[in-house]
């Protein structure tokens, strides 16, 4: 991979969407998401934080050498802070709940203890003509929700979604030409992948 300033991406603006579990994930970036995807509105300038971890354990031999590294788990998290207050934001922040409106009065009732709704999620960012969509088949709100009521700032809802097992667990969709080659830019990628190992027969 050569140095190329045109491949530096800045997530200047973006949006966060969630949908009911089982909703088909997006496969393009040039069309609007269907109505079942809820736009969660303004996010703080901290943007969206992704964590893709790998918890491992060394496997040592009697002779004292480390011979393998075992992958025990691969936790994935998506974190952001929502700035608007509406039904979709509260239900995402608190893991579910119901909304009832009678006349001009609306009541939000949080989910019962032990209840936590699974959702699909799509994070989108735009950099000029380039769009990225990070799509997750199953997520669940896992973090604490700490918010403050103050006269000096917006009411904000920090949320942490854990990524649950799915096939695939996530996809990244983009029209970025720099992503077009499977191995990050080597034009011989396809040819190399088709090469066979030499025969061991006599």
Please report the pLDDT score of residue 188 as a whole number: 40
- Picking from 128, 160, 119, the residue whose alpha carbon sits closest to that of residue 11 is 128
Query: Any idea where the domains of the chain sit in the sequence?
Result: 5-193
Half-sphere exposure of 110 (CA within 13 A, CB side): 9
Q: Mean pLDDT for each consecutive 10-residue tract of the chain (202 residues)?
A: 87 96 94 96 95 85 85 84 96 95 96 94 96 96 90 95 91 92 47 32 40
Please report the pLDDT score of residue 63 as a whole number: 83
Please report the pLDDT score of residue 73 as a whole number: 72
Please report the pLDDT score of residue 173 as a whole number: 95
């Amino acid at each position: 991979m050569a140095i190329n300033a045109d491949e530096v991406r800045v997530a200047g603006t973006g949006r966060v969407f969630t949908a009911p579990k089982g909703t088909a994930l997006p496969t393009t970036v040039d069309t609007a998401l269907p109505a079942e995807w809820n736009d969660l509105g303004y996010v703080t300038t901290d943007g969206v934080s992704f964590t893709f971890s790998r918890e491992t354990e060394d496997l040592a031999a009697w002779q004292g050498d480390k011979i393998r590294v075992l992958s025990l788990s691969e936790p994935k998290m998506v974190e952001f802070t929502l700035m608007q207050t509406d039904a979709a934001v509260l239900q995402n922040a608190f893991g579910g709940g119901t909304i009832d409106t009678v006349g001009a009065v609306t009541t939000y009732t949080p989910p019962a203890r032990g209840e936590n709704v699974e959702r699909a999620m799509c994070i989108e960012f735009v950099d000029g003509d380039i769009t990225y969509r990070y799509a997750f088949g199953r997520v669940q709100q896992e973090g604490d929700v700490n918010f403050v009521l103050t006269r000096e700032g917006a009411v904000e809802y920090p949320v942490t979604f854990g990524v649950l097992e799915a096939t695939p667990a996530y996809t990244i969709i983009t029209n970025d030409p720099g992503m077009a080659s499977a191995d990050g830019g080597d034009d011989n990628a396809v040819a190399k992948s088709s090469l066979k190992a030499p025969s061991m027969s006599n």
